[in-house]
Amino acid sequence: MESEVKDRVGGFLKKLGQYKYVMLVLALGVVLLLIPAGGGTEESEEAPSEPVAAARGDGELEARLEEILSLIDGAGEVRVLLTRSSDGESVLAADSERTDSSGSDGRSQESRDAVIVSKGSGANDTVEVKYLYPEFRGAVVVAQGADSARVSLDLLDAVTAATGLPGDCVKIVKMK
């Protein structure tokens, strides 16, 4: 009986040895899941991370693009003009209330009020659900090094990546 138990335990350990790497990966995954992701209980107001094309101020994106594009090897001084087909807008959380009208047309009316939250100390703020980024129409990039085909291509690639514009909506020209 005792030898039978030893044989079973030995067989189990042998099978376990075959899957030791699988077990190691699973154990590592469990440990990683148990590690807290937060940085403690300290509260901090963090700005939401936004892509480069998410600049909200007029001219802010152009200035940031000019700064980045001028770092491209051979580009030299750079100026950028972006045209927009729509400006960005915030979509706010809203409470809506539908009321049925007892009139002859049978239409219902809906009223919407923005959701306002208290930030403490008497300060209130609206709740932004999402931000609709501006839609760009085209871009003009004027650069000192635009006479080089390599530099022009690098500038074109950078602008299309930052704005989402197709290449045929971006014009690269040499600065005088």
- Residue 153 sits at φ, ψ, to 5 deg, of -65, -40
Pairing of strands 135-143, 170-174: parallel
Amino acid found at 21: Y
pLDDT at res. 144: 95
Residue 113: C-alpha distances to residues 97, 98, 163 (Å): 9, 12, 33
Residue 15 is predicted with a pLDDT of 75
pLDDT of the residue at 46? 44
CB–CB of 108/99 below 8 Å?
yes
- Beta-carbon count within 10 A of 156 CB: 18
pLDDT at position 163:
87
Residues in the chain where the model's pLDDT stays below 50: 41, 43-56
Report pLDDT for 171: 95
DSSP letter assigned to residue 54: G
* Closest C-alpha to 143, from 175, 119, 120: 175
